[in-house]
């Protein structure tokens, strides 16, 4: 068991202490789970803006003449087709087709990419990506220790950035969703990306590790007039679940495949990559279970690993994530259920601590911004 002293701390740890954060062990990192109220932070992101420390995420750089080809081989998506300045969601799959991680890849130049991976898999992913790049004319470098990541998420996030750096307005006007561009904020060079994990408009800012605290405080001060709140991991989880976004270790694991998870669109079977043959074979048949959204009644939420019940209370699936939705006011969940019961509108039940509660299969996402 990891002790508090053994946890890795982000470069913003002292800032979180100063703000009175409550901490948790997340993938071996000491991370702020909340500063005040989970609900208040959730609603701040939905209605104004929230400020997140995501410096526990991993960053791996591919640079060289065959960077695109190496990534095409390593990942399920066709990264060579991504234009400079754009980003793509993709998957790192095992040879048997299981999902080792989901990730985002930014194309920074014709011959340079940044791969952003989940904290829980960062070391393993970096090693696997380096191994898969062997034989290609590319240099793969784990930049995780040198890079901090701060996110501003919510409808007023553009206002926060403009207040922090008035000169950034022209960049924001042309920056599309899933795009990135180098920018300067208060004299600090950042990679500014219009990406996020909340279902809201927002930005992720990559900055050198030693400038993280300075950038955090600039953004925090700029956000005072825009009702910006520091936000922890607890509300990040409820936000992403309302937006129907998968979390590795819950909806995605090495035991699941992209087709069951509804991610067929991100798998490019027309190219060769690690896991391609196994996935091509799986694609010939419909998966026996599918990931679906479930909406319940009352105030009791089914949590991860709860059984989903069908006709005659037979077990027909398993909840992977569940919560009482702060925005919608009802229980919601993601779950794998038998394919024949996966259509929207299907009535099911979930075993919530020994009591069967009514749920209905619901089209995702549960929440979509206006």
DSSP string, 52-69: EE-TTSEEEEEESTTHHH
CB 260 within 8 A of CB 291: yes
Domain ranges of the chain: 4-55+146-242, 288-362
In terms of phi and psi (left: phi > 0; alpha: psi -120 to 50; beta: otherwise), the region of 80 is alpha
Local structure of residue 271 (DSSP, 8 states): S
End-to-end CA distance of the chain: 44
In terms of phi and psi (left: phi > 0; alpha: psi -120 to 50; beta: otherwise), the region of 227 is left
Local structure of residue 98 (DSSP, 8 states): -
Establish whether domains 4-55+146-242 and 288-362 are of one fold. no
Residues 241 and 24: their CA atoms lie apart, in Å, by: 19
- Specify the CATH superfamily of domain 4-55+146-242: Probable tRNA modification gtpase trme; domain 1 (3.30.1360.120)
Give residue 4's pLDDT.
73
Helix, strand, coil shares, percent, the chain, to 5? 30, 35, 35
* C-alpha 317, offset from chain centre: 24
Tell me which H or E stretch contains 352: strand 347-352
Cis peptide leading into 365, omega within 30 of 0?
Answer: yes
Q: In the β-sheet with 112-117, what is the strand arrangement from edge to edge?
A: 87-93, 99-109, 112-117, 58-63, 139-142
Averaged pLDDT, groups of 10, the chain, 370 residues long: 83 98 97 97 98 98 98 98 98 98 98 98 98 98 98 98 97 97 98 98 98 98 98 98 98 97 98 98 97 95 97 96 98 98 98 96 95
Q: How buried is 221 (Cβ within 10 angstroms: 0-12 exposed, 13-18 middle, 19+ buried)?
A: middle
**φ, ψ for residue 10, nearest 5 deg:** -75, 165
In terms of phi and psi (left: phi > 0; alpha: psi -120 to 50; beta: otherwise), the region of 52 is beta
Give the global pTM: 0.96
Residues 176 and 193: their CA atoms lie apart, in Å, by: 9
Residues 125 and 107: their CA atoms lie apart, in Å, by: 18
Q: How buried is 214 (Cβ within 10 angstroms: 0-12 exposed, 13-18 middle, 19+ buried)?
A: middle
Tell me the two tokens of residue 134: 């062997």
Give residue 1's pLDDT.
57
Residues 236 and 36: their CA atoms lie apart, in Å, by: 14
Give residue 2's pLDDT.
65
Fold (CATH) for 288-362: Elongation Factor Tu (Ef-tu); domain 3 (2.40.30)
Residues 199 and 47: their CA atoms lie apart, in Å, by: 12
């Amino acid at each position: 068991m990891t002790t508090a002293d053994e946890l890795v701390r982000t470069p913003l740890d002292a800032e979180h202490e100063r703000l009175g954060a409550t901490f948790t062990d997340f993938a071996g990192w000491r991370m702020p789970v909340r500063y005040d109220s989970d609900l208040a932070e959730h609603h701040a992101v939905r209605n104004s803006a929230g400020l997140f420390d995501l410096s526990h995420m991993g960053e791996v750089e591919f640079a060289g003449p065959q960077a695109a080809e190496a990534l095409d081989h390593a990942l399920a998506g066709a990264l060579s087709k991504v234009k400079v300045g754009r980003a793509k969601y993709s998957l790192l799959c095992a040879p048997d087709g299981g999902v080792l991680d989901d990730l985002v890849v930014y194309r920074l130049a014709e011959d340079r990419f940044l791969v952003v991976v989940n904290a829980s898999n960062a070391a393993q992913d970096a090693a696997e990506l380096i191994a898969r790049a062997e034989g290609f004319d590319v240099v793969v470098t784990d930049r995780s220790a040198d890079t901090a990541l701060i996110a501003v998420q919510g409808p007023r996030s553009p206002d926060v950035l403009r207040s922090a750096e008035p000169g950034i307005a022209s960049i924001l006007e042309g920056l599309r969703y899933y795009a990135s561009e180098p920018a300067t904020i208060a004299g600090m060079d950042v990679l500014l990306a219009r990406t996020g994990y909340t279902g809201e408009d927002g930005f992720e800012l990559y900055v050198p590790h030693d400038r993280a605290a300075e950038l955090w405080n600039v953004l925090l001060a700029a956000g005072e007039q825009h009702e910006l709140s520091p936000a922890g991991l607890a509300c990040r989880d409820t936000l992403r679940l309302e937006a129907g976004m998968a979390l590795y270790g819950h909806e995605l694991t090495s035991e699941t495949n992209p087709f069951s998870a509804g991610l067929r669109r991100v798998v490019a079977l027309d190219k060769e990559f690690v896991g391609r043959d196994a996935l091509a074979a799986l694609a010939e048949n419909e998966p026996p279970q599918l990931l679906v959204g479930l909406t319940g009644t009352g105030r009791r939420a089914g949590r991860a690993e709860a059984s989903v019940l069908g006709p005659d209370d037979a077990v027909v699936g398993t909840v992977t994530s569940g919560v009482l939705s702060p925005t919608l006011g009802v229980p919601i969940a993601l779950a794998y259920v038998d394919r024949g019961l996966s259509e929207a509108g299907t009535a099911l039940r979930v075993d919530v601590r020994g009591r069967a509660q009514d749920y209905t299969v619901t089209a995702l996402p549960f929440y979509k911004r206006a």
